[in-house]
Amino acid sequence: MRIALFTETFLPKVDGIVTRLRHTVEQLQRMGDQVLVISPDGGLTEYKGAKIYGVSGFAMPLYPELKMALPRPAIGEALTQFKPDIIHVVNPAVLGLAGIFYSKTLNIPLIASYHTHIPEYLQHYGLGMLEGLVWELLKAGHNQARLNLCTSTAMMQALTDHGIERVDLWQRGVDTEMFQPHMASREMRSRLSQGHPDSPLLLYVGRLSAEKEIEQIKPVLDSIPNARLALVGDGPHRQALEKHFAETATYFVGYLQGLDLGAAFASADAFVFPSRTETLGLVLLEAMAAGCPVVAARSGGIPDIVDDGVNGFLFDPTDEQGAIAATQRLLANPQEQATLRHNARREAECWSWSAATQQLHTYYQAVIDAQVYSAAA
């Protein structure tokens, strides 16, 4: 099968969407498929055997890490040369519109997937008044596809409620070889705590952006004597967060990858995640695979992953004491903490990237077959 994958973000950017896509591309290539990735130009021309067609773009004003690449006729030439059996548009917003257009003009089956809950992001950037318009634009784009995939049941419901049709679930995946409990080390713990390895260590991993609501971790940190906080990642909100956490025991680590990231997860006492805008929260699965107990907001796709009191703790994001109480409970009971670590790892082991990609491949074939059937009817 030949798959043209349109995405608004890809390597070298680091985030949950890119993590899913790079594992998907790798697994599809292993299965014998051929993938063409069409994305904003990041300087790469190939990944794991897949060709990358980079489209020049410009940085978004509110989010400089993201590049906006505009569709252009040369994309059609690249598709004609590649001859895809199916087009998959990921979060169609700008560049993805080219995928929708060429699926029609070249009569190629189209599938779309939803990974970023943009309507919920708007309020964090002072653009809440645009939510209705954004949903209408999303509906217009996604309803061109024969199938729309979401990464959680909550997002399936949200899309269905707003008039998006033909919605189904793309199951979660996590690298259980990269993230393992045995990677915990005193050296990493000392690094993250800035020389205080015996202090309670809280961890956050992800984009440092307004919609992640990282400020909500400060009351949790303040409520635990001698606690330290490590924020792993970077993003447009970093400067504001540095001011917010200025008088606290908080370390801005920057990006970690590979074994270092695995060791960070495994070495922390609790992974605190206050975001209410997650379509899934892939980083939670990575923490769980590493045996790091999760304290997360009961919102979005997170309850699909975290079973409260079994493999982590959920809290009501509207309750100012919710995250504090959950984290204090976790740290106060070592036996319960050990049980959560064990159960979190066991849950993560159920979700391999190979299984998730095999499911996607089955969706691809069904969409291709449906178009062939409708053309013959």
Q: d(Cα 224, Cα 293) in Å, to the nearest integer?
A: 16
Residue range(s) in the chain whose domain bears CATH number 3.40.50.2000: 2-173+352-376, 181-348
Quickly state the pLDDT bin for 321 (edges 50, 70, 90): very high
Predicted TM-score (pTM) of the model is: 0.85
Quickly state the pLDDT bin for 376 (edges 50, 70, 90): confident
Helix, strand, coil shares of the chain as percentages rounded to 5?
A: 45, 20, 35
Fold exhibited by the domain 181-348? Rossmann fold (3.40.50)
The CATH homologous superfamily of the domain defined by 2-173+352-376:
Glycogen Phosphorylase B; (3.40.50.2000)
**Whether residue 188 has pLDDT greater than 80:** yes
Mean pLDDT of 274-287: 90
Residue type, 279: T
Mean pLDDT over the full length of the chain: 93
The DSSP string of 125-172 is: GT-GGGHHHHHHHHHHHHTTSSEEEESSHHHHHHHHHTT--SEEE---
**Whether residue 70 has pLDDT greater than 90:** no
CA neighbours closer than 13 Å in the CB half-sphere of residue 228: 20
* Structure confidence by residue, pLDDT tens digits, 141-184: 999 999 999 999 989 999 999 999 999 999 999 999 999 999 99
- Quote the pLDDT of residue 281: 84
Q: Which of 29-38, 103-112, 120-129, 141-150 has the lowest mean pLDDT?
A: 120-129
Residues in contact with 119: Cβ distance below 8 Å, sequence separation at least 6, in sequence order = 131, 134, 135, 138
